[in-house]
Amino acid sequence: MKRVFLTFLGASLSLAALATEDPTKPNKTEKKVEKKEEVKAVAAEEPKSPLSFSGYVDTYYFANFNGVQSNLGASGFERIFDQKANNFQIGLAQMKTTYTTDKVTGVIDLTFGNHGDLGNYGNTMSPLGEGIGTTGLAIKQAYIAWKLGAKATLTGGQYGTNVGYEVIDAPVNFNYSLSNLFGNGPFYHTGIKLDIAATDKFGFMVGVVNGLDSKDDFNKAKGIQGQITLKPTDTWSVYLNYFGSNEGAEEKDMYSWFDLTTSMQATEKLLVGLNAAYGKNSIGSWGGAALYLNGKVSEKFSLGTRIEYFDNSKGGIYLVDENGGGVSTTGITLTGSYKVSDNLMFKPEYRFDSYKNSAGTFQLYDKDGKLTKKSQSTLGAALIFYF
């Protein structure tokens, strides 16, 4: 196990080492200058459209060396989005519409597919009742941002969480598969928040939202979110995050996350990131850390690794064994990112995870459907189109 970690860590750290005008034709030159000035004048007269569209679709295939059809185990949270093994899968299709003016930005961010459903798992029931339909599975984000002044913005609606290093969007993350810190944290919030950019190096956010990962609140208590943003240098950003919500129906059950996210462009070719989190509720606590090292090998190819330890040995959150007891896991993910074109990325990826618990039981299934494994390796790739 140590040999595997040192090998991949060493490979990752090694990444750091790694129309002139013709003066003989003045008449044509003058005409070119005049033409350029005319084009600039026309462009200046035409107002920029406030409406923009963006989106992506990703597809993947991962082989599980345990010979199984699923990357999940006893808890159902061993992998977050890429749950199917030895299957060609569509992860998520996104269509995002943004309308921006001097004072207001409106965003409608719709998603479909496996990862869209999993990312909105709290919105599984429509107002018409269970089994009739849903109103939330296609909504990743839908919010209004009102610019109150030069430094303050008020946002209301459903929007992504402030907690964590990784996000749902596949084109944004370097690694394709998602961390345990991501999977055992909040995904999104429905409510209102105020962002203050006090200076170029300091800002903060506070918000009041409904319950954890849901468009609806099932009790009178509201969740609180907060963030402090620090930018010590032009290449180093630090985010201190908090989210807390009472999720108890009759008795108080307070869920709380304390999260540190930071990234530094150490060199022109090496980006270093870190995510550390601690959470607790009435059942127990959990926490962990992930180190990210992403290096640019060439203009089109980059290589990166994530080394993560996640401890839920007290059983407070989702990653548990077959009896509901706590589990801890250690994993390493090695990902390549090849830019095929301006709109297409190819990401080959290898991932290894091992699990342990105090009971000493097995966490993962073998090809016969029995819990006989304590680790798994997957190898595959994702293709991501974006615009």
What are the residue boundaries of the structural domains of the chain, listed by start?
Answer: 2-17+27-386
Percent of the chain at pLDDT above 70? 85
Asked if pLDDT for residue 38 goes beyond 70, the answer is no
Over the chain, what is the mean pLDDT? 88
Asked if pLDDT for residue 32 goes beyond 60, the answer is no
| 2-17+27-386 belongs to CATH 3.40.228.10 | no
Q: How confident is the model at residue 208 (pLDDT cuts 50, 70, 90)?
A: very high
Task: Calculate mean pLDDT across residues 370-383.
Answer: 98
Distance CA 205, CA 151 (A): 12
Long-range contacts at 345-348 (CB < 8 A, ≥ 24 apart): 345/171, 345/383, 345/384, 345/386, 346/381, 346/382, 346/383, 346/384, 347/176, 347/381, 347/382, 347/383, 347/384, 348/380, 348/381
Asked if pLDDT for residue 74 goes beyond 50, the answer is yes
Task: Calculate mean pLDDT across residues 117-128.
Answer: 73
Write out pLDDT tens, residues 249-307: 888 999 999 999 999 999 999 999 999 999 999 999 999 999 999 999 999 999 999 99
Q: How confident is the model at residue 117 (pLDDT cuts 50, 70, 90)?
A: confident
Asked if pLDDT for residue 238 goes beyond 60, the answer is yes
CB-based burial of residue 191 (10 Å sphere; 0-12 exposed, 13-18 middle, 19+ buried)?
buried
DSSP bridge partners of 192: 156, 208
Task: Calculate mean pLDDT across residues 83-93.
Answer: 94
pLDDT at position 378 is 98
